[in-house]
Amino acid sequence: MGWLAVTFYTAALILLFLPLHASQDRLVPGKPLSPGATIVSDDGSFALGFFNLSNLSGTPNRLYLGIWYNDIPELTVVWVANRETPATVGLSSAPSLFLTNTSNLVLSDGDNSSVLWTTGVDTSTSSSQTTAVLLSTGNLVIQSPNGTMLWQSFNHMTDTFLPGMKIRIKYGASTNGDRLVSWKGPEDPSSGPFSYGGDPNTLLQIFLWNGTRPVARTATWTGYMVKSERRYQQDTTGAAIIVYLSVVDGDEEIYVTYTVSDDAPHTRYVVTYSGDYHLQSWSNSSSVWLVLAKWPSPECNRYGYCGPYGYCDVAVQTCKCLDGFDPASMEEWNQGRFSAGCRRKEPLHGCVDGFLPLQGMKTPDGFVLVGGDKGTLEECASECGRNCSCMAYAYANLGGDKSGGNVSRCLVWTGELVDTAKIGEELGSDTLYLRLAGLDMAAGNRRKMSAVKIVLLVLGCGVLVLICISLAWLKFKGKDGKWRRHKKMRLDGVSTMNDLGEEKLPYDHEFPFVRLEEIVLATQNFSEIYMIGQGGFGKVYKGKLAGQEVAIKRLSRDSQQGTKEFMNEVILIAKLQHKNLVRLLGCCGEGDEKLLIYEYLPNKSLDATLFDDSRRVLLDWATRLCIIKGVARGLMYLHEDSRLTIIHRDLKAGNILLDGNMRAKIADFGMARIFGDNQQNANTQRVVGTYGYMAPEYAMEGVFSTKSDVYSFGVLLLEIVTGIRRSSSSETKGFPSLIVYSWSMWNEGKTEDLVDSSIMDTCSPEEALLCIHVGLLCVQENPNDRPLMSAVVFVLENGSTTLAAPNRPAYFARHNIELEQLRDDIQNSINGITLTDIQGR
Ligand SMILES: *[C@@H]1O[C@H](CO)[C@@H](O)[C@H](O)[C@H]1NC(C)=O
Ligand SMILES: *[C@@H]1O[C@H](CO)[C@@H](O)[C@H](O)[C@H]1NC(C)=O
Ligand SMILES: *[C@@H]1O[C@H](CO)[C@@H](O)[C@H](O)[C@H]1NC(C)=O
Ligand SMILES: *[C@@H]1O[C@H](CO)[C@@H](O)[C@H](O)[C@H]1NC(C)=O
Ligand SMILES: *[C@@H]1O[C@H](CO)[C@@H](O)[C@H](O)[C@H]1NC(C)=O
Ligand SMILES: *[C@@H]1O[C@H](CO)[C@@H](O)[C@H](O)[C@H]1NC(C)=O
Ligand SMILES: *[C@@H]1O[C@H](CO)[C@@H](O)[C@H](O)[C@H]1NC(C)=O
Ligand SMILES: *[C@@H]1O[C@H](CO)[C@@H](O)[C@H](O)[C@H]1NC(C)=O
Ligand SMILES: *[C@@H]1O[C@H](CO)[C@@H](O)[C@H](O)[C@H]1NC(C)=O
């Protein structure tokens, strides 16, 4: 042990001194840097030197001094000193960079006649001990002999935001913070029109600008010490890249900074010359920069895209009108032109109108900061309430300041509300209190104030007490009634009342509850004529509600939930909105009846299309790939992006519906929650699902997790590519199942033969192979070996050259259990089992 330690110590010493000898990471006075030479950071990751970008013969070569990644093949410049003043290469002379003995860095052109760029540092005392060091973070730092940092390139950023760098929103006396400024073009590092940085007017938000026009805006700060951690996945093989972003309110400065996980590849934010803000990471395996995140995204998040009083619903990526507002021009709105925005349905009466809280919002731009920084929510509410031109307010407690008191902010809006979004629980999510006609001055401080009055009255005059209290009570009830009137539900224009009587339902102003009698009417008392399907959870009817065609699912009665829990679950599930999920439009729970109302999709299920000889032609390769990707995205949303982590548990071709454009939408999600099993990765008494799609650990042991959905997805994917049913032994050349067949073919290197012969001519062999590969990874026996849906989506979108080889898939034949026997076993051992579609359809 001792010997080892000594060896290690010696090695450490050598390593420690090595860079000093090699000393290529710094510039000292008297030793200028010329074109062709570079200074390389200690760990070899960055280089400082001259570069040129112009390829065109004939144009004079322009030379720039800059910093780039030294250990990747593609020249990626992260900093440019003289972006506006390139050096031209003369015949006899070349520019040089030198450090003066007063600690100034100077870039001068060939004959020393002009200074192209300088740091402007000038210490009064001169010394030859000063150095300019390129650190392994990519920061070029001038250090005085006593170690003080005199200048750093990180404070003079160009278009790139590197880990460890700070974008200062505010510092010192300066009101202008730092800005990232784009290049003009791919070969022109001079300042382009796009920039990114703090909003100098409010210091509370960050903008991406095109010139002076905002392109996108972050949510307004809800706290000065914001820390967030986000995971990004390059591909299935690499570890996740975790970006730790924080906003720091320091003594002298407010800034945004970030770091990345230790083993992450090169990662950077950059404002591209085309006007996007990207998070990129270098993929070592494919030698390209991958875009991990892009802003503004979604499209409707562009600044002001949804017009005044409109907002971008990020979950469904579309514009909507704020509550109490309608599109200004329905025609334009329906054509996808939102810039005209929305207008009030009912004009304000002035100061008597109250406020509706909208949760999970990115609050609008154009606010005014009012009150001190020590106010309460009630004070903020009254600040806005008493000013009749105040439309809305938002309040946030920003946390403790240095003296221990809480700092808060109160924002009010008096003009148009622009650039609002609904972002759910994203960073910066806030409650916007919106003034609406017909709402009484709401709850909160008014009630509290009248309570104070009541107390005073009690003290003054005991007799009045009872009267006062009963008056207050009546008033309260009245308000409540009025409030409730505003909960009128809408199903595409026609109102349906929420009149579940005394039962207090969670407040939700958008989700419609439909009365049973309306549904009975629409389906002629659930007549067989209107039935369009039947699944494990109940029968599905087609009907017309409020002029709109809908699919109505009548849940079977073995749900253990009471009506209230059912409604709660449905509201939660209705919030899951994604373009690859069938939209839940409403519900009804009366007595024993539990009904769900979905959008109606005309093109039937994937099952009824893929395995039908006359309809199969609708599915060429491009459509199939699009369906695969759509299902993957929808499932990823359920697993990873929604707040609830929904495990579908019955993903199958019959549960994929196709819309008018043959796009895939997942149906029947959230059923497990509605039926009362909402633990994750738990043992369940009920096995719901469909034989052949069920992961073995789920079918055999009742253990389910998101990975059991991944398994079902894998089976589905193989079905789509091969056009073969999962359990059709006639088509799988005698193999017991599609999975076993696919794996065998893969093993024999005959994967191409798996592809459905009817799409041979439209199919891209690489894409099909990639899909099959992903499918086989998804059906591996060990759930831990199966990829996450985010990884699946990534690979399907970007392709990958580094996918692992799939392990032996799980298949029941190995256990020598015959189909029927398996079913009996499960039925005998597990209570209340509902295996649907045992034989397949
Ligand atoms: C500039 O670029 C050209 C072509 O890419 C190259 O031949 C030349 O050496 C470069 N000049 C300098 C000074 O790097
Ligand atoms: C130079 O030209 C080649 C081919 O014309 C192109 O592939 C390369 O990207 C260009 N280099 C730069 C820096 O634009
Ligand atoms: C330019 O001036 C600097 C200092 O003033 C000196 O170190 C350098 O050698 C000069 N270069 C030429 C080409 O004269
Ligand atoms: C610093 O440089 C100037 C000229 O560049 C020279 O005159 C002076 O002697 C130098 N001082 C020291 C301390 O090296
Ligand atoms: C270090 O040197 C710089 C100038 O070279 C000077 O301004 C600073 O006061 C010095 N700091 C200390 C702690 O000596
Ligand atoms: C940036 O603004 C200019 C006009 O100011 C416009 O022509 C251009 O299309 C804008 N670019 C983007 C990407 O918005
Ligand atoms: C990147 O790939 C090269 C060879 O392809 C290898 O030498 C290097 O170690 C890899 N770097 C990382 C960080 O994986
Ligand atoms: C209402 O608020 C606006 C904006 O803060 C302000 O300009 C106006 O003077 C206020 N009006 C009253 C009556 O306080
Ligand atoms: C600051 O706010 C927190 C949470 O809202 C609260 O617990 C704490 O008591 C407050 N501190 C002061 C000094 O008001």
Q: Which residue's CA is minimally distant from atom 11 of ligand 1? A: 52
Which residue has tokens 């003079």? Answer: 156
Q: Hey, CA dihedral for 8, 14, 17, 19, is it positive or negative?
A: negative
Cα gap 686→675, rounded to integer Å: 10
CA of 89 to the centre of ligand 1 (A): 10
Q: Hey, CA dihedral for 694, 700, 704, 707, is it positive or negative?
A: negative
Over residues 129-137, mean pLDDT: 92
Sequence ranges of the chain with CATH classification 3.30.200.20: 488-600
**Could you say which ligand is closest to the alpha carbon of residue 38?**
1
Residue-level pLDDT at 192: 96
Which residue has tokens 């999962």? Answer: 726
Cα gap 242→331, rounded to integer Å: 44
Interhelix angle 706-722/789-798, nearest 10 degrees: 30
Which one has a higher pLDDT value, 482 or 582? 582
Task: Give the CA-trace dihedral at 261, 265, 266, 267, to 10 degrees.
Answer: -50
Does ligand 1 lie within 6 Å of residue 297's CB atom? no
**Could you say which ligand is closest to the alpha carbon of residue 99?**
3
CA of 288 to the centre of ligand 7 (A): 13
Residue-level pLDDT at 514: 84
Lowest-pLDDT range of 162-166, 169-173, 286-290, 506-510: 506-510
Average pLDDT across the chain, whole number: 78
Task: Give the CA-trace dihedral at 304, 309, 313, 318, to 10 degrees.
Answer: -70
Which one has a higher pLDDT value, 146 or 328? 328
Q: How many CA atoms lie within 13 A of 107 on its CB side?
A: 22
Does ligand 6 lie within 6 Å of residue 275's CB atom? yes
* Residues sharing a CB contact under 8 Å with residue 750, sequence separation 6 or more, in sequence order: none
Q: In this prediction, what percent of the chain has a pLDDT beyond 90?
A: 32
Per-residue b/e over 702-730, b at no fewer than 16 CB within 10 Å? bbbbbbbbbbbbbbbbbbbbbbbbbbeee
Over residues 398-403, mean pLDDT: 67
Collapsing DSSP to helix, strand or coil, 654 comes out as helix
Residue 590, strand partner residues: 593
pLDDT digits (tens, 9 = 90+) for 743-790: 889 888 888 889 998 888 888 888 999 999 999 999 998 888 899 998
Confidence (pTM): 0.58
Residues present in the chain in total: 841
Which of 181, 182, 210 to mutate to test ligand 6, by most ligand atoms within 8 A of the CB atom?
210
pLDDT digits (tens, 9 = 90+) for 583-624: 888 888 887 788 889 998 888 889 888 988 888 888 999 999
In this model, does residue 53 exceed pLDDT 90?
no
List C-alpha distances in Å: 652 to 339, 570, 605, 667, 717: 40, 22, 10, 10, 10
CA of 321 to the centre of ligand 8 (A): 26
Residue-level pLDDT at 402: 59
Does ligand 6 lie within 6 Å of residue 303's CB atom? no
Please say whether the structural domain 488-600 has been given the CATH code 3.30.70.1060.
Answer: no
CA of 183 to the centre of ligand 1 (A): 20
Q: Which residue's CA is minimally distant from atom 1 of ligand 2? A: 55
In this model, does residue 68 exceed pLDDT 60?
yes
pLDDT digits (tens, 9 = 90+) for 436-456: 987 765 443 343 334 334 333
Q: What angle do CA 558, 560, 564 make, to 5 degrees?
A: 125
Which residue has tokens 């193999």? Answer: 735
Q: Which residue's CA is minimally distant from atom 13 of ligand 8? A: 387
**Which parts of 715-782 are beta strand (E)?**
none
Which residue type occupies 22? A
What DSSP string runs through 82-110?
-SSSPEE--SS---EEEE-TTS-EEEE-T
688 — pLDDT class (breaks 50, 70, 90): low
| CB atoms near residue 667 (< 10 Å) | 25
Does ligand 4 lie within 6 Å of residue 101's CB atom? yes
Task: Give the CA-trace dihedral at 157, 163, 165, 167, to 10 degrees.
Answer: 80
DSSP secondary structure letter of residue 529: G
Residue 121, strand partner residues: none
Q: Is 117 left (phi over 0), alpha (psi -120 to 50) or beta?
A: beta
Q: Which residue's CA is minimally distant from atom 10 of ligand 2? A: 55
Residue-level pLDDT at 449: 38
Residue-level pLDDT at 198: 92
Radius of gyration, CA atoms only, the chain: 32
In this model, does residue 826 exceed pLDDT 70?
no
Q: Which residue's CA is minimally distant from atom 3 of ligand 2? A: 55
CA of 203 to the centre of ligand 8 (A): 21
Cα gap 430→220, rounded to integer Å: 8
Cα gap 341→46, rounded to integer Å: 48
Does ligand 5 lie within 6 Å of residue 24's CB atom? no
Which one has a higher pLDDT value, 433 or 504? 433
Residues near ligand 3 with C-beta < 6 Å?
98, 108, 112
Does ligand 4 lie within 6 Å of residue 126's CB atom? yes
Q: Which residue's CA is minimally distant from atom 7 of ligand 1? A: 55
In this model, does residue 711 exceed pLDDT 60?
yes
Which one is the CATH code of 1-154: 3.30.540.10, 2.90.10.10, 3.40.50.720, 3.40.50.2030?
A: 2.90.10.10
Over residues 294-303, mean pLDDT: 88
What is the CATH number assigned to the segment(s) 606-841?
1.10.510.10
Residue-level pLDDT at 492: 28
pLDDT digits (tens, 9 = 90+) for 195-244: 999 998 888 899 999 999 999 999 988 875 566 677 787 766 667 788 88
Q: Which of 768, 827, 776 is nearest to 799 (CA)?
A: 768
Which one has a higher pLDDT value, 506 or 841? 506
In this model, does residue 730 exceed pLDDT 50?
yes
In this model, does residue 719 exceed pLDDT 80?
yes
Cα gap 610→190, rounded to integer Å: 54
Q: Hey, CA dihedral for 738, 742, 744, 748, is it positive or negative?
A: positive
In this model, does residue 700 exceed pLDDT 80?
no
Beta strands at 420-422 and 310-313: parallel, antiparallel or unpaired:
parallel
Cα gap 551→647, rounded to integer Å: 22
Residue-level pLDDT at 67: 97
546 — pLDDT class (breaks 50, 70, 90): confident
344 contacts 375 by C-beta, under 8 angstroms: no
Residue-level pLDDT at 495: 27
676 — pLDDT class (breaks 50, 70, 90): low
Both tokens of residue 659?
């819309």
Cα gap 61→86, rounded to integer Å: 9
804 contacts 247 by C-beta, under 8 angstroms: no
Per-residue b/e over 734-750, b at no fewer than 16 CB within 10 Å? ebbbbbbbbbebbeeee
Q: What angle do CA 240, 241, 245 make, to 5 degrees?
A: 135
Q: Which of 157, 151, 150, 153 is nearest to 177 (CA)?
A: 157
pLDDT digits (tens, 9 = 90+) for 78-110: 999 999 998 877 666 788 999 998 899 999 987
Does ligand 6 lie within 6 Å of residue 840's CB atom? no
712 — pLDDT class (breaks 50, 70, 90): very high
In this model, does residue 682 exceed pLDDT 70?
no
Atom of ligand 6 nearest to the CA of 275: 13
* Residues sharing a CB contact under 8 Å with residue 71, sequence separation 6 or more, in sequence order: 44, 45
Over residues 534-548, mean pLDDT: 81
Sequence ranges of the chain with CATH classification 1.10.510.10: 606-841
Of the listed 650, 668, 677, 709, which one is catalytic? 650
Atom of ligand 9 nearest to the CA of 397: 5
Q: Which residue's CA is minimally distant from atom 7 of ligand 8? A: 414
CA of 192 to the centre of ligand 9 (A): 45
Q: In this prediction, what percent of the chain has a pLDDT beyond 70?
A: 78
Over residues 147-153, mean pLDDT: 91
Q: How far apart are the first and last CA of the chain?
A: 68
In this model, does residue 33 exceed pLDDT 60?
yes
Over residues 681-695, mean pLDDT: 60
What DSSP string runs through 136-201?
TTS-EEEE-TTS-EEEEGGGS--SEE-TT-EEEEEETTBS---EEEEEEETTEEEEEEEEEEE-TT
Per-residue b/e over 51-63, b at no fewer than 16 CB within 10 Å? bebeeeeeeeebb
List C-alpha distances in Å: 284 to 72, 74, 242, 281: 8, 11, 17, 9
Q: Which of 693, 723, 722, 721 is nearest to 709 (CA)?
A: 693
In this model, does residue 565 exceed pLDDT 80?
no
Please say whether the structural domain 157-297 has been given the CATH code 2.90.10.
Answer: yes
> Which of the given ranges, 261-270, 566-575, 665-674, has the highest pLDDT on average?
261-270
633 contacts 580 by C-beta, under 8 angstroms: yes
In this model, does residue 405 exceed pLDDT 90?
no
Residue-level pLDDT at 840: 30
Catalytic status, residue 825 = no
